[in-house]
Chain A
C-alpha cells in the first residue's frame, strides 16, 4: 500500500484569500468495508473551475455526492461557504447546483416546463423568472426549442438543458458529474463556453470528466485513484514533462499500482 494517505496534496496558491466556496478537510466515506473516499482534502474558490479526473471507481462520484450533500461523509468536514454540508443540508442546497452523472430531466415535460420546475422549487417568480429563463436557455441555445419535449432533444441538448436547470437558481457552487459523456464536440464546446462564462461571474465549479481535453481547460485538477487524491495542481503542473495530460495521468496511476494496470477497480 503506497503511503499517499499521509502525503498532503500540494496546494498551489489560489488567487483569492477569502473563505473558499468549497472546503474539504480530511473527508472519508466507507460503504461497509469498502473505502470509497479516503482522507481527501482540497478546496475550490469562487471564479475557478476544478476538474476531478482519475480512473473509474476512484471515488469521484461519491466525493461529488458528498459535496452536494446527497450523502454524509463517514469522517472529515465539508464546508460550503463556511456552512457544514452534513449539518446544514437544507441551508446549503440553495447555494449549490448539482448535476448527477445520469441527470434526470422530465422527458414528458417541455424545455420550458423543466426549467420552470427548478425555478418553482427555488421560489423564483415574477420578472426575475422570465429574465433567467431567457438568460440560461439563451446560453444553451435552447430558446428556439422552448416548447419541445425534453425527450425529443439530442443528447447534447439534454445536457445543456440540465445545466440551464441547475443554473436557474443562480447557485454559488456548481457540481457536475461527468456532464459531457456521450455529447458531441460541438455541444461540448458550447457546454464549456457556458462554464467559462459562469467562472467569470465568480461561480465555483467542480466538474468530473473522463476527457482530458476538458481537463486542460480547468484551473486546477484533482487527480484521484483508488479512493485517494494523488495530486492537486494546475493542468500544466500535472502534465509536467509528459507529452500529454493523459500520458502524465496514466504514469501517475501506474506508479501507484505497479503492474496492476487496468485491474484497479477494487474487487
Chain B
C-alpha cells in the first residue's frame, strides 16, 4: 500500500457526463478503512454511475479520486484487483455449478493456482454451500445465490468490497444474516461500500452519503443526518429523511 493515509476511497469533485446529461455532479467524499459506508439515493440518482467509476468500470469525466491507493483515471486495472464487486444481479453464471463459478472467478482474479483449493473450501464453507457445490446455480434459492456471489467477490481477499443493492428482493432473515456477515468482514478490516435505497440496510452503515440528481444531499452518520434534517423531530427515522430530501425530483 502507498501513502494514501487512512482513506480507502477518496473522491474530489468527481463528475460524469453522458453527452449533455450530468449523471454525477462534482461530488466529494471519503471512506475510511474498515468502515461500512452507504451511498443512498432513489432510482436514477447516480448511485450506479458512481460505484462503476470507483470500481474502474467506466472513466470519470473530470475530478480526482483514489481507490485502495490507486488513481481511478490512470490505474483502473490495479483497482479491479484490489476490490471485490457484487451487483444486485449477482453476476453469476447460472448454468454453472457454484464450484465452477468459484473456479472461474479464481482465474479471472489471477489468484495463484496453489491457493485455489484452500480458497474454494473457504468460500464454500463461508457461504454454507458445501452440500450443493455440484448443483446448477440457477436451481439454488435467491439467498444462497447471494451468498455465492458474495463469496466470489471475496475470493482474492480484496481490501474493499463494493455492494450494489445487494439484498434487493431477499427475505428479512437472509438479509439479517447477510449483514451480520458484512459486519464481521468489516471488523476484520475490510472496507465495505454499499449502495441501496432500503433504509433498513442503510441503518447498518456507519456513515452515509445521500445523493439526488447527481448531487450530495446529506452526509454523515445516520443519527447525524436525522438530527440535521429534522432537528425538532426526535422520532423521525431515515425513511422520513430520505423522503424529505428526495421527494422533489424531475423524473
Residues in chain A within 8 A of chain B (CB atoms)? 53-58, 145, 154-157, 178, 181-187, 189, 210-213, 246, 249-250, 253, 261-265, 267
B28 at the interface (CB under 8 A from A): no
Closest partner residue, chain B, to A142 (CB atom): B251
CB distance B42 to A210 under 8 Å?
no
Are A262 and B197 also in contact (CB < 8 A) when A56-B143, A267-B131 are? no
Q: List 20 A-B contacts (CB under 8 A).
A: A53-B172, A56-B141, A56-B170, A58-B171, A154-B251, A182-B169, A186-B243, A186-B249, A187-B43, A210-B169, A210-B175, A211-B198, A211-B200, A212-B172, A246-B172, A246-B200, A249-B173, A262-B128, A262-B173, A264-B173
Complex Cα distance A261/B43, Å? 32
CB distance A265 to B141 under 8 Å?
yes
B247 at the interface (CB under 8 A from A): yes
Q: Which residues of A contact B177 (CB under 8 A)?
A: 261-262
Tally chain B residues at the interface, Cβ within 8 Å: 34
Are A210 and B251 also in contact (CB < 8 A) when A186-B42, A267-B132 are? no
Select the residue from B88, B128, B144, B249 with max chain A CB neighbours within 10 A: B144
Q: Which residues of B contact A183 (CB under 8 A)?
A: 43, 197
Residues in chain B within 8 A of chain A (CB atoms)? 41-44, 88, 128, 131-132, 141-144, 165, 168-177, 197-200, 239, 242-243, 246-247, 249, 251
Top 8 nearest A-B pairs by Cβ distance?
A184-B42, A265-B141, A184-B197, A181-B169, A154-B43, A56-B171, A155-B43, A182-B168
How many A-B contacts are there with CB distance less than 8 Å? 90
Complex Cα distance A154/B44, Å? 7
Are A186 and B143 also in contact (CB < 8 A) when A156-B42, A212-B172, A250-B173 are? no
Complex Cα distance A181/B249, Å? 21
Q: Which residues of B contact A157 (CB under 8 A)?
A: 251
CB distance A250 to B198 under 8 Å?
no
Complex Cα distance A253/B176, Å? 13
Q: Which residues of B contact A58 (CB under 8 A)?
A: 171
Complex Cα distance A54/B169, Å? 12
CB distance A184 to B43 under 8 Å?
yes
Closest partner residue, chain A, to B242 (CB atom): A185
Q: Which residues of A contact B42 (CB under 8 A)?
A: 154, 156, 184-187
A134 to chain B, nearest CB (A): 19
A261 to chain B, nearest CB (A): 7
CB distance A210 to B172 under 8 Å?
yes
Q: Which residues of A contact B199 (CB under 8 A)?
A: 185, 213
Q: Which residues of A contact B165 (CB under 8 A)?
A: 182
Complex Cα distance A87/B172, Å? 36
CB distance A185 to B197 under 8 Å?
yes
Complex Cα distance A45/B174, Å? 31
CB distance A210 to B143 under 8 Å?
no
A167 to chain B, nearest CB (A): 21
| Neighbour of B168 across the interface among A181, A187, A246, A253, CB < 8 A | A181
Q: Which residues of A contact B198 (CB under 8 A)?
A: 185, 211
Complex Cα distance A154/B141, Å? 27
Starting from the known contacts A56-B143, A156-B42, 18 additional A-B residue pairs (CB-CB under 8 Å) come to: A56-B171, A58-B171, A157-B251, A182-B168, A183-B197, A184-B197, A185-B243, A210-B169, A210-B172, A211-B172, A246-B172, A246-B200, A250-B172, A261-B173, A262-B128, A262-B174, A264-B173, A267-B131
